[in-house]
A and B are shown apart, each in its own frame.
Chain A
Amino acid sequence: MTEVSIELTVNGRARQATVPPRMLLSDFIRHELSLPGTHVGCEHGVCGSCNVVVDGRAVRSCLMFAVQVDGAQITTVEGLAQGDDLHPIQQAFWEEHGLQCGFCTPGMLATAQELLAENPDPSDDEIREAIAGNLCRCTGYEFVISAIRSAAAKLREPESETVLQPV
Chain B
Amino acid sequence: MSQHLKSNVIPPSRQREVPRTGLTWIGQSMKRVEDPRILSGKGGYIDDITVPGMAHAAMVSSPHAHARILSIDTSKAKALPGVIGVYTGEDMAQVVDPCPSFASPPITQHAMSVGKVRHVGEVVAAVVAEDRYIAEDAAELVEVEWEVLPANVDLEASAAATGDAVLHPDDRDGNVALDERFSFGEVDQHFAEAHIVVKRRLRWQRSSAQAIETCGVVAQFDPFKGGYTIHSNSNFYNFIPFVIGGSLRVSPGELRIIPVLTGGSFGSKVFNHKIIILTAGLARLAGVPVKYIEDRLEHFTNSDSHGSDRLYDAELAVAEDGTFTSLRFTVTDDYGAYLQFGVGTHGNAMAQVTGPYQIQSFGMRVIAVLTNKTQQGPYRGFGSEVTNWVMERMVDAAAEELGKDPVALREQNMIQPDQFPYMIPTGNIYDSGNFQKVLAEAKSMFDLDTWRDKAAKMRADGRCVGVGLATCMERSVYGPTEWWSLNNTETPGFTLTSTPEGITVRLDPSGKMLVTLNSPMVGNSPETVVAQILAERLTIAPEDIVFNYSDSQSGFNGVGPQGSRFTAMIAGACVSAAIKLEERLKRFGAHMLQRRPEDVELRGGMVAVRGLKDQEKSFGEIALTSSFFRLSFPDGEEFDSGLETTAVYDHPLSTDPAEDRSHLGIFYPIVGHICHIVAVEVDPGTGKVEILDYAAVHDNGTMVNPRTLAGQVWGGTANGIGTTLTEQFLYDADGQFTNPNFAEFAMPTANEMPRNFKLGHVETPSPFTEYGIKGGGEGGRLGAPSALTSAIEDALSDRGVKITSLPVTPPTLCGLIRDAEQAATA
Q: Do residues B711 and A133 form an inter-chain contact, with CB atoms below 8 A?
A: no
Q: Do residues B40 and A86 form an inter-chain contact, with CB atoms below 8 A?
A: yes
For the complex, give the distance between the alpha carbons of A93 and B48 in Å.
22
- Does B493 sit within 8 A of A, measured CB to CB? no
Known: A102-B261, A138-B523. Is A90-B750 also a contact (CB below 8 A)? Answer: no
Known: A42-B296, A44-B296, A138-B711. Is A100-B524 also a contact (CB below 8 A)? Answer: yes
Q: Across the interface, which residues of A come within 8 angstroms of B719, CB to CB?
A: 137
- Does B225 sit within 8 A of A, measured CB to CB? no
Which of A20, A94, A135 contacts B31 (CB under 8 A)? A94
Which of B132, B213, B710, B747 contacts A103 (CB under 8 A)? B213
- Does B295 sit within 8 A of A, measured CB to CB? yes
B488 to chain A, nearest CB (A): 37
Q: Across the interface, which residues of A come within 8 angstroms of B326, CB to CB?
A: none
Which of B32, B521, B525 contacts A94 (CB under 8 A)? B32
With both beta carbons as reference points, the residue of chain A lying nearest to B719 in the complex is identified as A137
Which of B132, B710, B750, B755 contacts A144 (CB under 8 A)? B750
Q: Do residues B210 and A140 form an inter-chain contact, with CB atoms below 8 A?
A: no
Residues of chain B in range 21-40 having any CB-CB distance to chain A below 8 Å: 31-32, 34-36, 38-40
Greatest chain B CB density within 10 A among A36, A38, A109, A145 is at A36
With both beta carbons as reference points, the residue of chain B lying nearest to A76 in the complex is identified as B41
Which of B715, B742, B753 contacts A47 (CB under 8 A)? B742
Which of A37, A132, A138, A142 contacts B40 (CB under 8 A)? A37
For the complex, give the distance between the alpha carbons of A53 and B749 in Å.
21
Which of A30, A101, A131 contacts B523 (CB under 8 A)? A101
Q: Across the interface, which residues of A come within 8 angstroms of B47, CB to CB?
A: 30, 36, 39-40
Q: Do residues A143 and B295 form an inter-chain contact, with CB atoms below 8 A?
A: no
Q: Do residues A101 and B711 form an inter-chain contact, with CB atoms below 8 A?
A: no
**Could you tell me how many residues of chain A have their Cβ less than 8 Å away from some Cβ of chain B?**
58
Contact string against B for A residues 64-104, beta-carbon threshold 8 Å, 1 for contact and 0 otherwise: 00000000000011101100101000100111010111111
Q: Do residues A137 and B39 form an inter-chain contact, with CB atoms below 8 A?
A: no
Q: Across the interface, which residues of A come within 8 angstroms of B41, CB to CB?
A: 35-38, 76-78, 106
With both beta carbons as reference points, the residue of chain B lying nearest to A101 in the complex is identified as B523
- Does B714 sit within 8 A of A, measured CB to CB? yes
Q: Do residues A97 and B32 form an inter-chain contact, with CB atoms below 8 A?
A: yes
For the complex, give the distance between the alpha carbons of A40 and B294 in Å.
11
Which of B262-270, B446-454, B652-660 has 4 or more CB atoms under 8 Å from chain A?
B262-270
Q: Across the interface, which residues of B come within 8 angstroms of A144, CB to CB?
A: 750
Q: Across the interface, which residues of B come within 8 angstroms of A109, CB to CB?
A: 39
Q: Across the interface, which residues of A come within 8 angstroms of B707, CB to CB?
A: 97
A15 to chain B, nearest CB (A): 17
Q: Across the interface, which residues of A come within 8 angstroms of B757, CB to CB?
A: 142
- Does A118 sit within 8 A of B, measured CB to CB? no
Q: Do residues A101 and B262 form an inter-chain contact, with CB atoms below 8 A?
A: yes
Q: Across the interface, which residues of B come within 8 angstroms of A132, CB to CB?
A: 749-751
Q: Do residues B742 and A46 form an inter-chain contact, with CB atoms below 8 A?
A: yes
- Does B717 sit within 8 A of A, measured CB to CB? yes
Q: Do residues B35 and A99 form an inter-chain contact, with CB atoms below 8 A?
A: yes
**Could you tell me how many residues of chain B have their Cβ less than 8 Å away from some Cβ of chain A?**
58
B192 to chain A, nearest CB (A): 46
- Does A7 sit within 8 A of B, measured CB to CB? no
With both beta carbons as reference points, the residue of chain B lying nearest to A107 in the complex is identified as B212
B475 to chain A, nearest CB (A): 21
Residues of chain A in range 26-42 having any CB-CB distance to chain B below 8 Å: 27, 30, 35-42
Q: Across the interface, which residues of A come within 8 angstroms of B214, CB to CB?
A: 41
Q: Do residues A137 and B714 form an inter-chain contact, with CB atoms below 8 A?
A: no
Q: Across the interface, which residues of A come within 8 angstroms of B35, CB to CB?
A: 93-94, 99, 102
- Does A128 sit within 8 A of B, measured CB to CB? yes
B73 to chain A, nearest CB (A): 25
Residues of chain A in range 1-50 having any CB-CB distance to chain B below 8 Å: 20, 22-23, 27, 30, 35-44, 46-47, 49
Q: Across the interface, which residues of A come within 8 angstroms of B364, CB to CB?
A: none
- Does A139 sit within 8 A of B, measured CB to CB? yes
Q: Across the interface, which residues of B come within 8 angstroms of A86, CB to CB?
A: 36, 39-40
Greatest chain B CB density within 10 A among A20, A97, A137 is at A137
Q: Across the interface, which residues of A come within 8 angstroms of B523, CB to CB?
A: 100-102, 138
Q: Do residues A100 and B715 form an inter-chain contact, with CB atoms below 8 A?
A: yes
Q: Do residues B714 and A90 form an inter-chain contact, with CB atoms below 8 A?
A: no
Q: Across the interface, which residues of A come within 8 angstroms of B132, CB to CB?
A: 27
Residues of chain A in range 103-158 having any CB-CB distance to chain B below 8 Å: 103-106, 109, 124, 127-129, 131-145
Q: Across the interface, which residues of A come within 8 angstroms of B631, CB to CB?
A: none
Q: Do residues A103 and B212 form an inter-chain contact, with CB atoms below 8 A?
A: yes
Q: Do residues A41 and B714 form an inter-chain contact, with CB atoms below 8 A?
A: no
Q: Across the interface, which residues of A come within 8 angstroms of B261, CB to CB?
A: 101-102
Q: Do residues B708 and A103 form an inter-chain contact, with CB atoms below 8 A?
A: no
Q: Do residues B263 and A39 form an inter-chain contact, with CB atoms below 8 A?
A: yes
Q: Across the interface, which residues of A come within 8 angstroms of B711, CB to CB?
A: 97, 100, 138-140, 143
Q: Across the interface, which residues of A come within 8 angstroms of B748, CB to CB?
A: 140
Residues of chain B in range 204-219 having any CB-CB distance to chain A below 8 Å: 209-214
- Does B823 sit within 8 A of A, measured CB to CB? no
- Does B741 sit within 8 A of A, measured CB to CB? yes
- Does B45 sit within 8 A of A, measured CB to CB? yes
For the complex, give the distance between the alpha carbons of A144 and B753 in Å.
12
Q: Do residues B753 and A102 form an inter-chain contact, with CB atoms below 8 A?
A: no
Known: A47-B742, A144-B750. Is A137-B210 also a contact (CB below 8 A)? Answer: yes
Q: Across the interface, which residues of B come within 8 angstroms of A101, CB to CB?
A: 211-213, 261-265, 521-523
With both beta carbons as reference points, the residue of chain B lying nearest to A22 in the complex is identified as B133
Known: A43-B295, A77-B41, A101-B262. Is A141-B210 also a contact (CB below 8 A)? Answer: no
- Does B718 sit within 8 A of A, measured CB to CB? yes
Q: Do residues A128 and B264 form an inter-chain contact, with CB atoms below 8 A?
A: no
With both beta carbons as reference points, the residue of chain A lying nearest to B41 in the complex is identified as A37
With both beta carbons as reference points, the residue of chain B lying nearest to A91 in the complex is identified as B39
Residues of chain B in range 255-292 having any CB-CB distance to chain A below 8 Å: 261-266
With contacts A142-B757, A143-B710 known, what are 6 further pairs, Cβ within 8 A? A36-B47, A47-B742, A109-B39, A138-B523, A139-B714, A140-B711
Which residues of A come within 8 Å of B, CB atoms? Answer: 20, 22-23, 27, 30, 35-44, 46-47, 49, 76-78, 80-81, 84, 86, 90, 93-95, 97, 99-106, 109, 124, 127-129, 131-145
9 A-B contacts (beta carbon < 8 Å): A22-B133, A37-B42, A97-B31, A101-B521, A101-B523, A102-B35, A138-B523, A138-B711, A139-B711
